Amino acid sequence: MISVDFPFHINGDMSARMMAILDEMAAGQEVYSIDESFLDVTGISSYMPLERFGQQMRERVRQETGLTIGVGFGPTKTLAKLANQAAKQWTKTNGVVDLSDPLRQQKLLQLTRIGDIWGIGWRIAQRLEEMGITTGLHLAESNTSTIRKKFDVIVERIARELRGESCLALEDAPPPKQQIVNSRSFGQRITTLDDMQQAVMAYATRAAEKLRQQGSRCRHLTVSVTTGRYGDDPRYSATAPVSWQYPTADTRDIVAFALQGLNAIWRDGFRYAKAGVMLSDFWQSGSTQFDMFSQQQPRANADALMTALDAINRSGKGKIGFASQTTGNQAWQMKRNMLSPRYTTRLADIPVIR
State the pLDDT at residue 315: 76
Same-domain pairing of 193 and 151: no
For residue 222, being part of any structural domain is answered with yes
| CATH number reported for the structural domain that contains residue 244 in this entry | 3.30.1490.100
Same-domain pairing of 137 and 211: no
More confident residue, 297 or 154: 154
CB atoms under 10 Å from CB of 265, counted, come to 14
pLDDT above 70: residue 10: no
Same-domain pairing of 21 and 63: yes
Same-domain pairing of 254 and 146: no
For residue 171, being part of any structural domain is answered with no
Q: How many domains does the chain have?
A: 2
Long-range contacts of 106-109 (CB under 8 A, 24+ apart): 106/137, 106/140, 108/82, 108/83, 108/136, 109/82, 109/135, 109/136, 109/137, 109/140, 109/162
Same-domain pairing of 38 and 107: yes
List pLDDT tens digits, range 69-110.
Answer: 999 999 999 999 999 999 999 989 999 999 999 999 999 999
Indicate yes or no: pTM above 0.85: no
pLDDT band at 191 (very low <50, low <70, confident <90, very high): very high
Average of pLDDT values for 180-194?
Answer: 90
For residue 232, being part of any structural domain is answered with yes
For residue 153, being part of any structural domain is answered with yes
Domain boundary among 105, 134, 162: 162
Average of pLDDT values for 299-328?
Answer: 77
37: β partners: 4, 31
Instruction: Give the domain range for residue 234.
Output: 180-286+300-314
Percent of the chain surpassing pLDDT 70: 84
Average of pLDDT values for 187-210?
Answer: 93
Same-domain pairing of 28 and 111: yes
Same-domain pairing of 56 and 199: no
Residue 335 CA to residue 43 CA, distance in Å, equals 48
For residue 323, being part of any structural domain is answered with no
For residue 353, being part of any structural domain is answered with no
More confident residue, 83 or 14: 83
